[in-house]
Structures are given as structure tokens and as C-alpha cells.
Amino acid sequence: MTLIGLLTTQSQLFEDDLTWTVGDSGLQSTIEPGGYERTVTRSFYMGTSKSVDLASSNLSFKGCAVFIVSPETGAYQVRDRGAPQHASSASCVGSMGEDCVNDLNAKVIDLARYNADADVSDFCKNIAVDLQDNPPSSCYILSQQPRIEAVALTGPDAQQAITSSENSTSNCWPTLPKTNDLTKIFEYDQVAQLDDTRPWLGYTPLISVFAPVGNDTDMEVEVNLACMKIVDSDDFSSGTARNGSETEDMKGGTARLTGDWMVVVLFVSAWLVAWI
């Protein structure tokens, strides 16, 4: 069984929207001396138009995804006032605080500009290291020494899109439109007590950042902070079926949001089996 959530976001760099998908799988339980434990695998996928080649050496921009992972629970408790853990959306402002969101976005923009001349590998690494060593004082979760992972989205080290043949044993292709390429970007495992719901109902901050190569002043740095969260819902399952080879968009209930929101819309029983 896998639970997923889907975010659609816009960028001036791409003609079509990007999607981010979070999926929790595993959820198996084991008996340990301290009681029952559950292992949750949380995976993140990016959906892009087939016309986008992020591995091209001719791109005028570079990009990476920065994931903030709790050392104790993997995901973080939803603290948005009035929003239960199983809410269908998680506001970063509500859970992290407005000052933290503003300061974190501003810091990543400054770091992207400061590292303008670095190649994409060092660009991503330097952002992660500085966030770890010099976090904004307004961000409580960053003061708790979280695991910060920055993954290149462009260049020769970028992950390759999953092919239809690699996903032939599954009918799940969680991106819209269905013609999108889907790429596995990052994954982690988290072990927790059986009664602790945070690892699979909590949110994971994800910062996507795109910046010009060198000092291309015609392009602004783009930073998007999303609080990625899943929910148990089948409102949208037919919209993410098939294996990515469809030629037309299968309509679903996704929301088109930008900024600090993550909408979670799907429960499915099958998941992608390919590891890139």
C-alpha cells in the first residue's frame, strides 16, 4: 500500500508546469524489544514535460532540490491551526511560521546568487552546507540539526527519467498530465513506534531552486518552498493510472498552487518499482 500527494507548480523557465510527488510506502511493522515499530519509505518524484531535457549541457540555468528531514521522525508534525494530521493540505506558514518561511526563502536566494559561478554539484552542496551551519534563527526545525539533502536537478549528475518499460509492472504514474516524464529524485527510510503517525502523516519541507548559469542577469533566481504531505484519499486515483505512455491528459482533481502549500490528493495500491 502506498499513499501519495501531488503538487503542481509553475516556473518561468518551463513552458509547462512541473509536478512534485511524495509517496509513502512500506509501512511494515516489526516486533522489537521496545514494542512494535514501523518502517516508512518516503520517496519524491519530479514530473516534467517530455520536451524538457534537464541533463542538457546547453541549459542557461541550474537547479537543485533541497530536502529537510527530521532526524527523529523523518517528517514533521503539522502545526497549522485547525488542521489535523490527516488534513488534505499543509501550510508551511502555518507549520513553520511566517518569519521562518520568509527568512528561509530569502537565505536560499542569497546563497544561490553567491554560488552563481559554481557548477551544479557544488551549487547544491554549498546551499545545503550553509543551511546546516547557518540556519535562519526564525526556523525552529533548522535549529534541531536536521538532515539536509540537496540533489542536482540539472546537468550530468541529474537523475534520469523512468521509462515506461522500467515501470511495466505498475499502473501508477503519479503526475499530470499523463504524458509527463517522471524522475525519482530522493528517498529516505524512517523507523518509528507504531503509534507515532508523524513519519507518514507529517510534512517534509522541499525547496526547489533554479538559478542562472554564471552571471546571466536576464534570469532571476527562482525559489519555491513546499511542505510535502500525503493523505489517504482515492479522489484522484484514476488520474494517475497508466505508465506514462498515454497521449492525452486524464483529468483528475489536482490543484494548481504555488508558494508555501502542498496539496495531497491520492491513495493508490501500486507504486513505481523502478529505482534510478
Question: Mind listing the pLDDT tens digit for each residue in 164-212?
Answer: 778 767 778 888 888 899 999 999 998 877 778 888 888 999 999 999 9
224 backbone dihedrals φ, ψ, rounded to 5°: -135, 120
Residue 81 clears pLDDT 80, i.e. is over it: no
What pLDDT score was predicted for residue 100? 96
Question: What is the rounded distance in angstroms from the CA atom of residue 268 to the CA atom of residue 4?
Answer: 8
Question: How does residue 129 score in pLDDT terms, banded at 50, 70 and 90?
Answer: very high
* CA distance readout (Å), 200 to 3, 19, 69, 86, 212: 9, 20, 12, 10, 35
* CA–CA separation, 137 and 100 (whole Å): 8
Q: 3-class DSSP state for residue 254?
A: coil
Highest mean pLDDT among 78-82, 135-139, 246-250, 265-269: 135-139
**Average pLDDT of the chain to the nearest whole number:** 79
Provide the whole-model pTM: 0.81
Q: CA dihedral defined by 132, 138, 143, 148, rounded to 10 degrees?
A: -40
Give me the residue label for grid cell 524538457: 52
Per DSSP, the three-state class of 210 is strand
pLDDT of residue 262: 38
Q: Which grid cell is 102?
A: 520568509
Q: Average the pLDDT over each of 33-37, 120-124, 219-223, 258-262 and give the range with the smallest value.
A: 258-262
Quick one: cell of 144? 534541531
pLDDT bracket for residue 236 (50, 70, 90): very low
Residues in the chain, how many?
276
- Of residues 158 and 172, the one with the higher pLDDT is 158
What confidence score (pLDDT) does residue 255 get?
27
What pLDDT, on the 0 to 100 scale, is given for residue 20? 95
Q: Check residue 27 and give its pLDDT.
A: 61
Please indicate whether residue 19 or residue 39 has the higher confidence score (pLDDT). 19
pLDDT band at 251 (very low <50, low <70, confident <90, very high): very low
C-alpha to C-alpha distance for 60 and 212, rounded to whole angstroms: 6
CA 166: distance to chain centroid?
22
Q: What is the DSSP letter of 70?
A: B
Report which of residues 273 and 46 the model is more confident about.
46
Q: In the chain, where do the E strands start and end?
A: 2-9, 18-32, 35-48, 61-69, 89-91, 147-152, 181-193, 204-212, 222-228, 261-263, 266-268
Give which of 265, 92, 65 is closest to 148, Cα–Cα: 65
